[in-house]
Chains A and B, each alone.
Chain A
C-alpha cells in the first residue's frame, strides 16, 4: 500500500502542470527590470501591480510645461500625453498628441532611475558625511576613529592611497575629491542595484545615460586641466619627419581622446547591465520550468537558487571591481594629462 502511494506521487510530479495562469513573457520581464520606467513597480499581488507613481515632467512645444503623476498615464491619455510602448526597444515613452502627428515632448520626468539615483545619492551623502562628522568632534592627530567612521576612513584612504596617489602623480590632491566621489557614487549605486527590492534594484549604473555623464566628467577633468606637454603630444608629437608631413599620430591621438571616456562609459554600463540580466535570467529559470512538472521544477529551482546566490556574490565583487576600475582608469587618464615630458624630468 505504501509503495503504491509513493509511486503515484512520483508519477504525478512528473506530469506537466499548466496551473500558471499566463506564460512568462521573457522580453517583458527582462527589459521591464533593466530599463527605466515612469513608475516604480514594486511587486504584483494577485494580479494587481503595486507600484509607486512618480512625477512626469514634460514640456510641450505648444502647451508648455506639464507636471502630473504617472498613474494618470496608466489610465490612458492625460492632458494630451500618452504612454507609448515601443515593441522594438521594449521602452515606454511619453508621447504627445498634436495636430501634426505624435511628437516626443521634452521629457525630464522623475523616472524610476532618477528616483533611485536620488535615493542612492542621499544614502551616499549621508554615509560619507556621517563618516566625516567624527573629525569635527575629535582631534584626528591624537586618535583614530573606530567603528563606522573607521570603516569610511579605511575605504577612502584605500581608494586614495592605492588608486589615486600612484595613478595621478604628484598633484593628486586636486583631483582626489572628484575621483573619490566617482568611486563611491559608482560603488553605492552598484551595490544598491543588486538589492532586489524597493528602494534598491534600480538599474542605475547599468544605464548608458548615467555612465555617459560619469565618463563626461572624467573627460572634462582630463582635458580641461591637461598641461602643455599633454596637448603638444596630441597635436605635435615627437615623431619622425615623414609622420609630421602626414599627421597620422595627431589623428590617432584625437580619436584616442574620445575613445578613452567612451570605453569608461561602455565598460561600466555593460558590466552592470550584464550582471542584472544574468541574475534575472537565473531567477527566471524558476518560473520557466514550472510547466515541466513539479519534480523538474523543484530540481531546477534548487539549482537556480544556488546559481542565483553565486551570481549575487559575483555581482558584489563586480560592483566593487567596476567602481575600482572606473576610478583607476580615470586616475590614469588624468595622470597622463599631468605628466611632464621626459626631457623636463631630466
Chain B
C-alpha cells in the first residue's frame, strides 16, 4: 500500500522545494532565455525583411545608376561637341579680330608715315624759303657796291648763311 499512498513528509518537502525551484527559475531562469530568444527572433525577422527591401531597392538603384550613366555619357558627348564648336568659333573670331587689328595698325602707321613725310617736306620747304629770303636779303644789301666786292660779299654771305644753317 505504501507505494501508492503519499507520505506527508515527502509531500511537504516536495511542495516547499518545488515552490522554491519554480520561483527561482520563473524569475531568473526561463523568462531570461525565452525573452532573449524571442527578441533575437524578432530581430532576425526584421533583418530579413530589411534585407529583402534593400535588395529591391538595390535593383532599382542599379537600374537608375545605369540610366544616369547613360545620360551622363550623352551629356558628356554633347558638352564635348559644344566645347569644340565654341573653341573653333573663338579661334575664328580671334583670327578675324587679329587680322582686322593688324590691318588697322598698318593703316594707321601708313597715315602717320604719310603725315610725317608731309611735315618734313613742309619743314624743308619752309627752310628753303627762309634760306632763300635771307640769301636774297644779303645779296640785296651789297647790290650797289663794286662788282668784285659784290661778288666777294655774296660769297661771304652764302658762306655765312651756310654756316648759320649748319649751326641751327
Instruction: Check B20 against A121 for contact (C-beta < 8 Å).
Output: yes
Contact of B66 with A by CB under 8 A: no
- Quick one: closest A residue to B43, CB to CB? A141
What is the minimal beta-carbon distance from B116 to any residue of chain A, in angstroms? 97
Contact of B21 with A by CB under 8 A: yes
Instruction: Check A214 against B29 for contact (C-beta < 8 Å).
Output: no
Instruction: Check A177 against B2 for contact (C-beta < 8 Å).
Output: no
Among candidates B3, B8, B14, residue contacting A35 with C-beta atoms closer than 8 Å: B3
Chain A, residues 8-37, CB within 8 Å of chain B (1/0): the string is 000000000000000000000000001110
Name which of A109-117, A248-256, A292-300, A336-344 contacts chain B: A109-117
Instruction: Check B3 against A208 for contact (C-beta < 8 Å).
Output: yes
Residues of B with C-beta under 8 A to A57: 9
- Kindly identify, within residues 167 to 181 of chain A, every residue whose CB is under 8 Å from any CB belonging to chain B: 173, 176-178, 180-181
Instruction: Check A178 against B26 for contact (C-beta < 8 Å).
Output: yes
Instruction: Check A36 against B7 for contact (C-beta < 8 Å).
Output: yes
Residues of B with C-beta under 8 A to A88: 1
Instruction: Check A118 against B17 for contact (C-beta < 8 Å).
Output: yes
CA distance A170 to B14 in the complex (A): 31
Residues of A with C-beta under 8 A to B68: none
Residues of B with C-beta under 8 A to A128: 25, 29-30
Residues of B with C-beta under 8 A to A89: 1-3
Name which of B31-39, B57-65, B93-101 contacts chain A: B31-39
What is the minimal beta-carbon distance from A54 to any residue of chain B, in angstroms? 11
What is the minimal beta-carbon distance from A325 to any residue of chain B, in angstroms? 19
Among candidates B10, B31, B37, residue contacting A177 with C-beta atoms closer than 8 Å: B31
What is the minimal beta-carbon distance from B89 to any residue of chain A, in angstroms? 65
- Quick one: closest A residue to B8, CB to CB? A107
What is the minimal beta-carbon distance from B15 to any residue of chain A, in angstroms? 5
Instruction: Check B31 against A210 for contact (C-beta < 8 Å).
Output: no
A interface bracket (residues with beta carbon within 8 Å of B): 35 or more
CA distance A157 to B38 in the complex (A): 10
What is the minimal beta-carbon distance from A184 to any residue of chain B, in angstroms? 7
Check A113/B33 contact, CB under 8 A, given A86-B2, A141-B43.
no
Residues of B with C-beta under 8 A to A91: 2
Q: Chain B's interface: helix, strand, loop or mixed, by majority?
A: helix
Among candidates A90, A108, A124, A217, residue contacting B2 with C-beta atoms closer than 8 Å: A90
B interface bracket (residues with beta carbon within 8 Å of A): 35 or more
- Kindly identify, within residues 82 to 101 of chain A, every residue whose CB is under 8 Å from any CB belonging to chain B: 86, 88-91
Name which of A44-52, A129-137, A191-199, A313-321 contacts chain B: A129-137
CA distance A87 to B59 in the complex (A): 84
CA distance A273 to B3 in the complex (A): 9
Instruction: Check A212 against B34 for contact (C-beta < 8 Å).
Output: no
Chain B, residues 65-105, CB within 8 Å of chain A (1/0): the string is 00000000000000000000000000000000000000000
Residues of B with C-beta under 8 A to A107: 7-9
Contact of A285 with B by CB under 8 A: no
Instruction: Check B7 against A180 for contact (C-beta < 8 Å).
Output: no
What is the minimal beta-carbon distance from A135 to any residue of chain B, in angstroms? 5
CA distance A160 to B12 in the complex (A): 29
CA distance A57 to B16 in the complex (A): 15
- Quick one: closest B residue to A109, CB to CB? B9
Residues of B with C-beta under 8 A to A111: 7, 9-10
CA distance A311 to B21 in the complex (A): 30
Residues of A with C-beta under 8 A to B39: 140-141
Check A132/B33 contact, CB under 8 A, given A208-B4, A209-B14.
yes
- Which B residues fall within an 8 A CB radius of A? 1-15, 17-18, 20-22, 24-26, 28-34, 36-37, 39-40, 43
Which 5 pairs of residues, A with B, have the shortest CB-CB distance?
A140-B36, A177-B26, A209-B6, A89-B2, A91-B2
A-B contact pairs, 29 of them (CB 8 A): A36-B10, A89-B3, A108-B8, A108-B9, A108-B12, A114-B17, A118-B13, A121-B21, A124-B21, A125-B29, A128-B29, A129-B28, A129-B29, A132-B32, A156-B30, A156-B37, A176-B30, A177-B25, A180-B30, A185-B18, A208-B4, A208-B5, A209-B11, A209-B14, A212-B6, A213-B18, A217-B22, A269-B4, A273-B3
Given contacts A125-B25, A129-B28, 15 further A-B contacts (CB under 8 A): A86-B2, A88-B1, A91-B2, A107-B7, A109-B9, A114-B13, A114-B17, A128-B25, A128-B29, A129-B24, A135-B33, A156-B33, A176-B31, A181-B30, A212-B11
